[in-house]
Amino acid sequence: MGTTQLEAAPEPKYWHLKTVIGEALDSDFTVGEVLPNERDLAARFGVARATLRQALEQLELEGRLQRRRGVGTTVAPPRVGVDVSTTQHSWPGMGEDGWQSVDRAADAAPAAVARLLELAPGEQVHVVRRLRVTDGQTVAAELLYVPAGSVPALTDADAPDPVGTATHARGVLRELGRLALEGQDRSVELGSARADDAKELDRLPGAPVLVVTTRYLSAGRTAAVAVATYRADTCRLTFGDSGDLAMAS
């Protein structure tokens, strides 16, 4: 694929290059294979390094390529479908849901979460940190914000200041589970990984992530809010009747 054909294309050059490389990934490469370095690739396709980099960034955004520190650019496996249905109606931590409690802290909720929970600015809540592991890979990091009013039976010994262990985190979830769950609302939006989430997800800070916000409703009000950060490169979030949409790419 020489320079001429790329220059004749009416689309931006990197866009056409992206399609060409995408086809080459299908035909000439296998999943996990390391791509040649940027200089060799640019030479192979007869383009400037900047153009090549734009095309590779697009393919990374679309989940076709992975860039990993110390490894280089590899051909990505198909994205993993992760169920985010709200149809099961269960509190976090109930049953085998693939989430692991990490720890518990007392902290102020972010402004947007505080509004949902109808908290005064700066009011401290229980913050339970959890990780979602699918097929041995950490696919999401979550912060669950639980106001003291939602877990009234929790004692100071149950919730040590400032940070408690996974056992303390599970204690908060257990108390929360005593409430009657009336409903769950969920939203998905694009975000960028905070430094701490990025580390858990083995991504660089600022990497695009899918942010799933869940509001748990009980007794006519918001009893807890979870903000989960999913890897956007490797995950496809699924919901609906069968809980998974098999969409091999």
Residues that bind a second copy (CB under 8 A): 11-12, 14-15, 54, 58, 61-63, 79, 81, 86, 112, 115-116, 183-192, 195, 205-206, 208, 210, 213-215, 217, 232-233, 235-249
Identify the CA nearest to 229 among candidates 106, 110, 124, 118.
Answer: 110
C-beta of 14 vs 91, nearer to a second copy: 14
Tell me which DSSP letter residue 11 carries: S
Any residues with CB less than 8 A from the CB of 137 and at least 6 apart, and which?
80, 234
Distance of CA 42 to the CA centre of its chain: 32
Element (H, E) at 83: strand 80-83
C-beta of 137 vs 249, nearer to a second copy: 249
C-beta of 145 vs 159, nearer to a second copy: 145
C-beta of 58 vs 66, nearer to a second copy: 58
Q: How far is CA 102 from CA 25, 65, 147, 176, 189, in A?
A: 38, 30, 18, 17, 24
* Calpha distance 69→147 (Å, rounded): 39
C-beta of 159 vs 176, nearer to a second copy: 176
C-beta of 16 vs 104, nearer to a second copy: 16
* Calpha distance 65→77 (Å, rounded): 8
Element (H, E) at 177: none
Q: In this structure, which amino acid lies at residue 66?
A: Q
